Amino acid sequence: MKPMRTERLILRNWEDRDHELFHHINSNEQVMEFFPFRRDRAQADAKMDELRRVIDCDGYGFAAAEIAATGQCIGFVGITGTDHMPFLPAGTIEIGWRLAPEFWGKGYVTEAAQAWLAYGFEALGLGEIVSFAVDGNRRSTAVMERLGMTADPSADFDHPGIPDSHPALKRHVFYRLSRADWEQRKRAAR
């Protein structure tokens, strides 16, 4: 993937120097509040390497977000396929993120996600991008709403990857953004 630049960030593929941060965001209790697992270092390293391979293959994915001024990796923001969600149509693309808590509340996710939406709609020609989160994860749904995504309660679902031992994490809310709606928001912002 060719790195993308926003006002304050560089969105790029993962590098070996990112392993520590990736483990941090996958083992931190605040960050992983809405996930039924925490990754140890070996699991986090393997997952980061998997994300790197996906980006190498597809040209996009859950990519590292780095503060341009400092070179510090703060987490990830990106778009990826939803093949792991068998009830979604083939080719569905989701947008997602995960940042270290010390970088929350600074607008980084929204800034990076806007760049990824532009990439998805303009460069990839997607007709729609979706997102989903645990029902009650207000931080994530607030970002979705800032991005112009619309809740679709008829598509809310129980996540098939969440074990029954975590019933409070099963129900997910579903958001959508069509290219037409994204273009309309873009025109209105001018």
pLDDT averages per 10-residue partition of the chain, 190 residues? 97 98 97 94 97 96 98 98 88 97 97 98 97 96 97 95 93 97 91
pTM: 0.95
What pLDDT does 10 receive? 98
Q: How far apart are CA 29 and CA 100, in angstroms?
A: 11
Break the chain into its structural domains and give their ranges: 4-189
pLDDT reported for residue 130: 98
The pLDDT value recorded for residue 83 is 85
| Architecture of the domain spanning 4-189 | 3-Layer(aba) Sandwich (3.40)
